[in-house]
Amino acid sequence: MACWILNEKLSVLLLLVWLGLNLYLFIDTFLWYEDEDAYIYTRIMLGSTLAWARASAACLNFNCMLILLPVSRNLISFLRGASACCGGAPRRQLDKNIAFHKVVAYGIAEPTTQICSLYVALKNSEHKGSRCECAS
């Protein structure tokens, strides 16, 4: 167990930083849309759905930007050359770029699912109050 912690401490640290950034983006954007006076009329119409959708979209935008970085060969080559003076831990992280790419893909799937669920919930709440009267 101790060897695993020594070998993977940078991976765990990067994963925690990524999760922390996503959490910060979500909370900051949610509070912005939930408390800002400019969106009061939209909140009256949609409730807190706007804040949930915008916060999920902020995380989605961040992760879509981030998913391209680990598979950019020029960037990886540049960072490998720049980390030649450093120890082996940063260079090992560059070799795990595909694993990080997969983790970020899960980070894209979660907000996308959340946005789709909010859309369905909003559509269902709109149709619940209205009645369709068809002429027969």
**Listed residue (56, 60, 64, 66) closest to 14, CA to CA:** 66
Q: Give the single-character DSSP code of 67.
A: T
At 18, phi and psi to the nearest 5?
Answer: -60, -45
Classify residue 38 by burial, with Cβ atoms within 10 Å: 0-12, 13-18, 19+.
Answer: exposed
Q: Is the pLDDT of residue 136 over 50?
A: no
DSSP 130: -
DSSP, residue by residue, 73-129: HHHHHHHHHHGGGS-HHHHHHHHTHHHHHHHHHHHHHHHHHHHHHHHHHHHHHHHHH
- The stretch 45-62 carries a mean pLDDT of 88
| Least confident segment among 63-67, 78-82, 98-102, 114-118 | 78-82
Regarding pTM above 0.75, the answer is no
Average pLDDT, the chain: 79
User: Is the per-residue pLDDT at 80 higher than 60?
Assistant: yes
72 — phi, psi (to 5°)? Answer: -80, 110
Sort residue 47 into left (φ over 0), alpha (ψ -120 to 50) or beta. Answer: left
